[in-house]
Amino acid sequence: MSDDFMLDTDDLERRMNGAIASLRTEFASLRTGRASASMLEPVMVDAYGAMTPINQVGTVNVPEPRMVTINVWDKGLVGKVEKAIRESGLGINPQLNGTIIMLPIPELNEERRTQLTKVAGQYAENARVSIRNIRRDGMDQIKKAKSDGMSEDDQKFWETEMQDITNRFIAQIDDTLETKQAEIMQV
């Protein structure tokens, strides 16, 4: 009967870990004044009639702490890659050197740092919402089992278990956000 109910906490935790991984990927794309190849991940280039990530039209390197270079494989795409970077909103002014595009990373001013911490906060809130949605799925499973005859004690146990898992992942998001905001504000 209902005594056989087991909440699949492994699946719920796997899904919550996915939300955390997604958050870390979004954080990696935020510029902190240091060069990083991952900051170009969201930039797409119109290449051969399809929107393509930059790392599929050239080699992205970080030769210095404040410089990213892109060695574009097809000379005909150099202009399109440059245009995509200019229009990306990264605040970087590309410099051409043949088929190599150099991206000097300027120092961030205080205003831009504050804006980036707000963006990081929005990313973290989106991750929290994802975690809460997963919690809701777990709670719905518990309610269904309750309507199928689960005891009230079992219901309370599983609801507490679900909330503990949720709290643990929300705390992980908060710690990650705090670390990222400190990194952004570091001069």
pLDDT tens track for 93-106: 899 988 899 988 87
Domain of 133, in residue numbers: 8-27+109-185
The CATH number that applies at residue 59 is 3.30.1360.40
Query: Any idea what the Cα angle at residue 150 is, between residues 3 and 136, rounded to 5°?
Result: 115
How many structural domains are present in the chain? 2
53-78: per-residue pLDDT in tens?
A: 888 999 999 888 888 999 999 899 99
12-47: per-residue pLDDT in tens?
A: 999 999 999 999 888 877 766 677 787 888 788 988
1 in a structural domain: no
181's enclosing H/E stretch is helix 152-185
- What is d(CA 44, CA 51) in angstroms, rounded to the nearest whole number? 6
HSE (side-chain half, CA atoms, 13 Å) at 95: 7
Backbone angles phi and psi of 67, in degrees to 5: -145, 135
Q: Are residues 133 and 154 in the same domain?
A: yes
